Structure 1
Amino acid sequence: MVNSTQVSYFALVAYFDTGVFKYFYFMIVMSLYILTVCANVLLIVVICMNRSLHEPMYLFLCSLFVNELYGSTGLFPLLLVQILSKVHTISASFCFLQIFCVHCYGSVQYFTLAVMSYDRYLAICYPLQYNTRMTSSKVAILTVFVWLYSVLTTVVIMSLSVPLQLCGNTIQKVYCDNYSIVKLACSDTTVNNIYGIVYMFTVIFALLILILYTYIKILKVCFSGSKQTRQKAVSTCTPHLASLLNFSFGAFFEIVQSRFNMSSLPIMLRIFLSLYWLTCQPLFTPVLYGLNMSKIRIICKSLAFGKMM
C-alpha cells in the first residue's frame, strides 16, 4: 500500500504513439489555445475599456471569459508538452494542481451560467424593477460568491483526495482529474463518495432547477408578449442557452466516460469527448457572444478599424 504523498508521478496512459503526426496534433492544439486566449482577452479588454458595456450582463460575461482563460491555461500547456513527449508522466504536485484548476473552472463556469440566467430572468420578466434588483453591489457580491464558493468547494475536494492511500499511479486519461485519483485509492473513499453525492444534489441539481425555472419563465414572457419583446428575449437568451447546452453536453460525456467503461469506443473519440468541455467551450463562448451581441460586435468592428469608442 502506497501513500499518495509518496507517489512522485502519475502516468497518463491514454496517450498513444502518433509518429510524425504528433507535430500535426501539436499545431492543431497550439492554434486552438492561441485562438482561445486571443478571443477571450479581446472581449475582456472590450468590456473593461468601454463604459457602455459596464452593465450586469457584460460584467458577468467578463467573469466568464476570465474563467475560460484560467481553465484552458490549466490544461493546454500540459497537453502540448505531452503531445511531443515520449514519456507521458506528470509529477504528483502538478497533477493535483491541474485537478484543482479543472474542478474550479467547471464550478465557476456552471455557477456563472446560472447567475447569468437569473440576470436575464430579471431583465425580461421584471424590466421596470431590473435596475433596483440587479445593482452594481449585487453584481459584485454574486461574482465574488461564485469564485469564492468554487475555490472553497474545490479545496474540500483536494483535502479529501490528497491524503488517500494509493495502490497505483496510472491514470487512464490525457490529463489529471479527481475521480481518476479516487479510483486508484486502496484506502476508504466513503467520505469522498458522500461529499461527491451531496455536492451533486445540493449544488448541481439545485442550479439546474434554477436555470430551468428562469428559462421557463422567460419563454412564457416571450410567447405572451409583443413581437418586439419576443425578438429581444430570443436575441439576448440564445447565446446564454447555447453556451449552457454546449458546456453541459461536454461535462455530461466527461462524467459518463469517467465512471463507466467506454473501451468499446475508438480511443480518439474517447480523448475528444474527455477534452471537449475544456477545449471547445473556452473558444465557443467568446465567439458565440461576440457574434450574437450587437454592442460587442459593433465595438469589435470599431476596434478593427482603429476607432476606439
Structure 2
Amino acid sequence: MSGVNGSSLTPKFFILNGVPGLEAAHVWFSLLFCFMYIIAVLGNCGLIYLISHEEALHQPMYYFLALLSFTDVALCTTTVPNMLCIFWFNLKKIYFNACLTQMFFVHVLTAMESGVLMLMALDRYVAICYPLRYSTILTNPVITKAGLVTFLRGVILIIPFTFLTKRLPYCQGNFIPHTYCDHMSVAKVSCGNFKVNAIYGLLAALLIGGFDICCISVSYTMILRAVLSLSSSDARHKAFSTCTSHICAIVITYVPAFFTFFTHRFGGHNIPHHIHIIVANLYLLLPPSMNPTVYGFKTKQIRECVIKFLLGDKVVFTQEK
C-alpha cells in the first residue's frame, strides 16, 4: 500500500474517493454542494450580522440562533472546500493527521448543532411556560455558560474518536470511499478490530443526540400542554408561530441524521453505499443552507429587520416571546 509507514502501519495519507460508483456525476454533485455552501455561508453570516447589529434582536432566542448560524458555517467549511477539491481538481489526498483533525471538528460541530437545537427548545419552553420570568432566567451569563458547556460536552466526548482511530493498524489500504473523514468510514479502512470504535461511537451518539432529543421532546410536550391550556385562540396561534421555525430546523437536522445513523448500522446491506455518502453530505449541508431561509420566513421579527436593512425604513418591531 502506497503512503504507509511500514513499521507502524499508519498511513501517511488517505485517498478520499468521493462518491464511489457515481464518478461521472461528480461534477453535478460539486455544483449542488457548492451552491448549498454559498447559500449556507451567505445566509448564516447575514443572520449573525443582523442579530449583532439590530438591538431588537438582542434577545436569548436570537443569541441561540446566532450560535446555531456560527456552528453551521464552521461545519460546512470543515468539509465542503476539501470536497470541491476532490470533485473539481481530483485532489483526493488528505494527510493522516489532517484527516483526524477534520473528523474531530466534523463530529464536534455536529454535536454542537444538536446541543444548540436543544438549548433553543429549552428557550421556547421558558418563554412560553414562564413568560414573566423569561428575562431573569435566561440572562446573558446563563446563555454564555450554556453555549460553553454544550461545546465542551462535544469536545470531551469526541476527543476519544481521534485516539481510537489513530491506534488502529491500516494494512489493507488507504482508500476511503467518502468525501470527507467520517469516524466509522476511516475506522473501517483498518485491518484491525474496530469494534471499540463502533461501540463508543454508538455510546457518544446516545449521550449527545439521545439526550438532546429527549430534552427537545420533553420541552415541546410541556409547551404543547401550556399552549392548549390558553383560553385565547390568538394567544395559541402566536405561541405556535414562535415555535414553527424551530420545529422545521429540528426536522431538517435530525431526519437525515437518523437515516444516516440507522441505515449505516442496521440497513447497510440493503441500501447502496453511494446513497449513504450522498445523505451524509446532505446531513452536513441541508440544515446550514435551509436554516436561514426557515428562520427568515417563519420569524416575523427577523423579516422586519431584513426589510429595515434592505429598505432603510423604520419598522415597528413586534416582540416575540
> Is the pair's TM-score, using the shorter chain for normalization, greater than 0.5?
yes
| Structure 1 unmatched ranges of 5 or more | none
The one of 11, 32, 35 equivalent to 1:31 is 35
Bigger Cα displacement from structure 2, 9-18 vs 126-135? 9-18
Q: Which residue of 1 aligns with 2:318?
A: none
Offset of residue 242 of structure 1: 1.2
Question: Is residue 247–residue 277 contact of structure 1 (8 Å, CA) maintained in 2?
Answer: yes
Displacement of 1:249 after TM fit? Answer: 0.7
What RMSD, in angstroms, separates the aligned Cα atoms of the two structures?
2.4
State the one-letter code of the partner of 1:41.
Answer: C
DSSP 3-state at the match of 2:15: strand
Which residue number corresponds to residue 71 of structure 1?
75
Task: Say if 2:204 is the partner of 1:199.
Answer: yes
Percent same amino acid at aligned positions? 29
Q: What is the correspondence of 1:218-233 to structure 2 with a 5 Å cutoff?
A: 218-225=223-230, 226-233=232-239
After superposition, residues 116-155 of structure 1 pair within 5 angstroms as: 116-155=120-159
Alignment of 1:247-266 (within 5 A): 247-260=253-266, 262=268, 265=271
- Counterpart position of 1:12: 16
Q: 2: CA distance between counterparts of 1:16 and 1:279?
A: 21
Cα distance in 2 between the residues matched to 1:237 and 1:275: 27
Q: Which amino acid aligns with 2:247?
A: L
1:51 pairs, out of 51, 55, 65, with: 55
Which residue does the alignment assign to 1:277?
283
Give the partner amino acid of 1:234: F
Secondary structure of the structure 1 residue equivalent to 2:131: coil
The 3-state SS of whatever aligns with 2:42 is helix
Do the aligned partners of 1:15 and 1:174 also contact (CA within 8 Å) in 2?
Answer: no
Bigger mean CA offset, 1-10 vs 31-40: 1-10
2:304 maps to: 298
Q: Take 1:232 and 1:135, find their aligned partners in 2: how far apart are those partners?
A: 23
**Structure 1 residue 106 and structure 2 residue 110: aligned?**
yes
Moved more, 3-12 or 211-220: 3-12
TM-score with structure 1 setting the length: 0.90
Match of 1:171 in 2: 176
Identify the range of structure 1 (225-234 vs 209-218) with the bigger mean alpha-carbon deviation: 225-234
Amino acid at match of 1:246: I
Counterparts in 2 of 1:16 and 1:196: CA distance versus 1, 3 Å: closer
Partner SS state of residue 159, structure 2:
helix
- Contact 2:257–2:283 under 8 Å retained in 1: yes
Rounded to whole Å, the distance in 2 between the matches of 1:149 and 1:281 is 21
Q: CA deviation at 1:306?
A: 4.0
What is the rounded CA distance, in whole Å, between the counterparts of 1:265 and 1:209 in structure 2? 28
Secondary structure of the 1:74 match is helix
Cα distance change of structure 1 residues 87 and 67 upon mapping to structure 2, 3 Å threshold: closer
Tell me the TM-score normalised to structure 2 length.
0.87
Contact 2:111-2:209 within 8 A present in 1 as well:
no
Structure 2 SS opposite 1:173: coil
Partner of 1:242: 248
